[in-house]
Amino acid sequence: MELVSKTHCFDGTQCQYSHRSEVLDCDMRFSIFLPSQAEKDQQFPVLYWLSGLTCTDENFSQKAGAQRMAAELGIVLVIPDTSPRGDDVADDAGYDLGKGAGFYVNATQTPWKPHYRMYDYIVDELPALIEENFPVSQRRAISGHSMGGHGALTIALKNPERFTSVSAFSPICNPIACPWGEKAFAAYLGEDRSTWEEHDASVLIGRAVEKLPMLVSQGEEDQFLEQQLKPNALKAAAEAAGYPVKIEYHAGYDHSYFFIASFIEQHLRFHADYLLAH
């Protein structure tokens, strides 16, 4: 693991690291914010943030303004990249497939299978790396935006023992029934749609045995709301399953990081109630 950059921020440090990923078989970068208290001999809880289509680890770090509240609460922020990277990694001309569009699944199809294993990277490899090298505990929460909101919801629903809570901004709630999800899942997972259900929050929420605290924020002026995001599918599935998800709609807000910056404090405080509970 190599330090790429280090910046003082709200009395803490905002860093970017590169490392060799065995799971993805390529070099990866992630960003991490460490509050000032992390310099002491303590272990701090972690919020993992999963970003959306076309993003890297830098979008959330630079645009969301999350560090101020993370510093106040004593929470470490870990922001991975959204896909494998490198000259040998398969790609596509479209923005919604390939590099920058890993969809947080383990690909089973050629040419994606050798590198596109973002599910295993987020669930296992990256947390192990973080917990080995930084003053953090095994208390983890997960959040994300758009494609990353899809990733946060599905990973949490499939691994509730690993997280205290989950939240999402403008998540792709029903990817098996929207153009973004259909394109990506057909490429990464193949044409057998039954395999897609393992990565659809609106399906998984109906199968969940353990019910994690869940918060979803959605802008009412989001240009992708009806065709791509489909929060009503998640709401209906949650109500049918008796899963207490809180879905909040916000008038006037779109799909951008201005929306995230407006409500990131609420999400961090939501997670703090569970991450910091004793």
Please confirm, yes or no, whether 145 is among the known catalytic residues: no
Please confirm, yes or no, whether 146 is among the known catalytic residues: yes
pLDDT tens digits, 214-263: 999 999 999 999 999 999 999 999 999 999 999 999 999 999 999 999 99
Per-residue pLDDT, averaged over 182-202, amounts to 97
CA–CA gap between residue 118 and residue 124 (Å, rounded): 10
H or E, element range at 239 = helix 231-241
Position 38 scores a pLDDT of 66
Residue 210: name the closest of 173, 278, 166, 161 by CA: 161
CA–CA gap between residue 197 and residue 236 (Å, rounded): 16
H or E, element range at 131 = helix 126-133
H or E, element range at 267 = helix 257-275
Q: Say which of 21, 31, 143, 146 is annotated catalytic.
A: 146
The CA-atom distances, in angstroms, between 194 and each of 117, 154, 159, 230 are: 19, 16, 20, 20
Q: Say which of 83, 200, 222, 262 is annotated catalytic.
A: 222
One-letter amino acid for residue 22 of the chain: E
Per-residue pLDDT, averaged over 40-67, amounts to 94
pLDDT tens digits, 155-175: 999 999 999 999 999 999 999
Q: Say which of 150, 255, 267, 271 is annotated catalytic.
A: 255
Position 40 scores a pLDDT of 62
Reply yes or no: is the peptide bond before residue 80 cis, omega within 30 of 0. no
Cα-atom radius of gyration of the chain, to the nearest Å? 17
pLDDT tens digits, 233-247: 999 999 999 999 999
